[in-house]
Amino acid sequence: MASTQLIDELFDFMYPLAQRAGELLLEGYAEVGKQISIKTAFYDVVTDYDNKIEEFLIEQILARYPEHKFIGEEDTAKNNHVTKTLTDAPTWIIDPIDGTSNFIKQIPHVCVSIGLAVNKQIVLGIINNPVQQKMYTTKLDGGAFCNGKPIHVSSIAKISEANVAYEVSLLHAHKIRNKHIKRIYHIGASARR
Any known ligand binding at 97?
yes
Beta carbons within 10 angstroms of residue 21's beta carbon: 27
* Nearest Cα to Cα of residue 181 among 163, 164, 160, 166: 160
Cβ-contact 145, 138 below 8 angstroms: yes
Q: Is 48 annotated as a binding residue?
A: no
Q: 102: closest CA among 137, 135, 132? A: 132
β-strand pairing of 111-118 with 121-129: antiparallel
Is 9 annotated among the ligand-binding residues? Answer: no
Residues in the chain: 193
**Residue 95, annotated as binding a ligand:** yes
Q: What residue numbers does the annotated binding site for Mg(2+) cover?
A: 73, 95, 97-98
Q: What residue numbers does the annotated binding site cover?
A: 73, 95, 97-98
